[in-house]
Amino acid sequence: GLHYPATDIPQASRFLFMKNKVRMITDCLAPPIKVIQDKTMAQLLSLCGSTLRAPHGCHAQYMANMGSIASLVMSVTINENNDDTPSEQQQNGRKLWGLVVCHHTGPRFVPFPLRYACEFLMQVFGIQLNKEVELAAQMREKHILQMQTMLCDMLLRDTPVGILSKSPNVMNLVNCDGAALYYQNQFWLLG
């Protein structure tokens, strides 16, 4: 598979991938079909919830440049437990983790039952991925707690210099390139 940086996907598209888990473009070269709205409607009609809406012109050109005519894109979401993720990428405690993108060199329609099965598969994958992400976070937390305990023991048994001179040291705890200790009018440097 190919990997793309997050910057390749505009924020508006990320929002739509959180709303619509599966997006199909059957033919990026087909002319868009205009939807005519009843003039008596107070608000403009939004197609953001539509799976079959036409691609944006620049995205259609992007696909054509890759030699791709049709695509099926499925979003992978996991539980949100990170405050660093912008709120537009979150929805109902979930965040966009990635996309599975399938391209085809000719026009191709994927029937609804198959799209629905793909969406279910992505949900199952997201659940499994979420378990692995949570396990990794728990392991990191456990490692940090063990490191803190060892460093506290060093402080209690030895002079404070031990947190710099012995292994593990304070740099292992905070993942840094250097550390300094000022104790009893002396400096100790590490890194």
Domain ranges in the chain are 6-136, 158-191
What is the tens place of the pLDDT at every residue in 131-140?
999 999 999 9
Distance, first Cα to last Cα, the chain = 39
Task: Taking residues 51-78, report their average pLDDT.
Answer: 90
Reported confidence tier of residue 30, pLDDT bands at 50, 70, 90: very high
Q: How far is CA 23 from CA 30, 31, 63, 82, in A?
A: 16, 18, 14, 26
Looking at residue 175, its pLDDT comes to: 78
Residues 6+ apart with CB under 8 A from 80: 90, 93, 94, 95
pLDDT at 191: 80
- Give the pLDDT confidence score for residue 54 in this predicted structure: 87
Cis peptide before 168 (omega within 30 of 0): yes
Kindly report, residue by residue over 170-179, the tens digit of the pLDDT: 887 777 888 8
Say what the alpha-carbon torsion angle 150, 152, 156, 158 is, to the nearest 10 degrees: 60
- Retrieve residue 72's tokens: 């099926």
On the question of pLDDT at 102 being above 80, the answer is yes
Of 15, 17, 26, 7, nearest in space to 109 by CA: 26
What confidence category does residue 153 fall into, taking pLDDT thresholds of 50, 70 and 90? confident
One-letter identity of residue 144: I
- The hierarchical CATH code for the domain 6-136 is 3.30.450.40
The pLDDT of 84-105, averaged and rounded, is 76
Task: Looking at mean pLDDT, say which of 30-34, 88-92, 106-110, 141-145 comes out highest.
Answer: 106-110
